Amino acid sequence: MTDDTNEPTTGQDLATDQEGSTSGHSRRRILTTGAIAGAAALAGAAGGATATRGDAAPAADPTPPVVVRPAQRQRFQNKVVIVTGATSGIGRSAAIMFAAEGGKVGFCGRRENLGRQVEAQIRAGGGEATYLRADVRVEGDVRHFVDAVAAKYGGLDVCFNNAGITIQKPLHEYTAAEWDDVVDTDLRGNFLALKYQIPHLIRRGGGTVVVTSSSNAISTSPNRAAYTAAKRGLVGMVQSAAHDYAADGIRINTLIPGTTNTELVRRVAGMLDAPDTTWNAFAAEWASTNLPDLKRMATPDEIATFALALASDDFPYMTAAQMVIDGGKTAYA
């Protein structure tokens, strides 16, 4: 099953080295055996919340919320910024943050209702943003999206290429169409984005590009053959492209996030329709076992904040880099 939104997986696929069972919430083989004994254990961890919406008073989130405040600097004032896969998750957070720092933001995703909501939220906060529906697997969509944003705002300065999906199963169980869907979105989609962004950046006299890969590009586990192949491929593509365009003043770097608490992760876990209290309890329990250092998943805002730093002019000597923000996950690789 795929995420049909072109939103970021970026290592967010909630998966471990073994299979497990949580009473119907593990049909994508994403739980470590013993991470949670079943739905009853989830309810207990959530302070008695049941698996039915509205039954009990919501329990407190097992982990305190992480609050990331927008930077006070206006690093993207009057700059034109493109974000792919921005109707939810990391991309959504990044689009909002780029606009809060003065950027004129053009962003895409396949779910039009969510895209319009993000656009309205940014404008209500005094920012400038334009949503355009685009499927990064479709070359014509990508070309039109990039050219339309550049035409509306008078050029292009910053690109955050972030769209991605995942399908998880043993390699021989993939259909060719499923394999192609992941690779076409996560790897070919990023090639197409760069293909049509680079000429605008060259005409501008330079710019920055951040491409979202995944901690699975460094350390992976079963059931991620397509995803890992695509995300590792992104690292190589970025390194080569960075060499191609350094003389044009274009810096291209790879963002390598760890597991992030997003809608896509929740969907992969088979818990998109579970109550928030149940999901929060599950996420906390899973993280305590599988993310031993910080014992929690990242928030989208935390990853987006790092993406903005890489996209800014703060690091003019950085290009072709692989920048990891994974809570220590790959230190165990």
The tokens describing 309, both together, are 């730093």
Q: What are phi and psi of 74, to 5 degrees?
A: -105, 70
Residue 225 maps to a domain: yes
Name the DSSP class of 272.
T
pLDDT band at 71 (very low <50, low <70, confident <90, very high): low
Residue 12 maps to a domain: no
Residue 260 maps to a domain: yes
Query: CA 26, CA 223: separation in Å to the nearest integer?
Result: 13
CATH number, domain of 128, equals 3.40.50.720
Query: CA 142, CA 119: separation in Å to the nearest integer?
Result: 19
How many domains does the chain divide into?
Answer: 1
Q: Which residue has the higher pLDDT, 142 or 333?
A: 142
Residue 284 maps to a domain: no
Residue 239 maps to a domain: yes
pLDDT in the model for residue 6: 44
DSSP structure string for 209-270: EEEE--GGGTS--TT-HHHHHHHHHHHHHHHHHHHHHGGGTEEEEEEEE--B--HHHHHHTT
pLDDT in the model for residue 66: 78
User: Percentage of residues in the chain with pLDDT exceeding 90?
Assistant: 74
| Helix intervals (H) in the chain | 39-45, 89-100, 112-124, 139-153, 176-183, 189-204, 225-245, 263-268, 276-290, 300-311
Residue 92 maps to a domain: yes
How many alpha carbons fall within 13 Å on the CB side of residue 311? 33
Name the DSSP class of 298.
B
Evaluate if residue 49 carries a pLDDT over 70: no
pLDDT (tens digit per residue) in 34-46:
333 333 332 222 2
Residue 189 maps to a domain: yes
pLDDT (tens digit per residue) in 194-247:
999 999 999 999 999 999 999 999 999 999 999 999 999 999 999 999 999 999
Residue 227, domain extent: 80-267+290-332
Query: CA 254, CA 274: separation in Å to the nearest integer?
Result: 33
Surface-to-core class of residue 32, CB atoms within 10 Å of its CB (0-12 exposed, 13-18 middle, 19+ buried) = middle
pLDDT band at 264 (very low <50, low <70, confident <90, very high): confident
**In this structure, are residues 67 and 119 in contact, taking their beta carbons and an 8 Å threshold?**
no
pLDDT band at 118 (very low <50, low <70, confident <90, very high): very high
Query: CA 182, CA 164: separation in Å to the nearest integer?
Result: 8
pLDDT in the model for residue 186: 98
Q: So which residues are the catalytic ones?
A: 227
pLDDT in the model for residue 63: 55
Evaluate if residue 16 carries a pLDDT over 80: no
**In this structure, are residues 181 and 152 in contact, taking their beta carbons and an 8 Å threshold?**
no
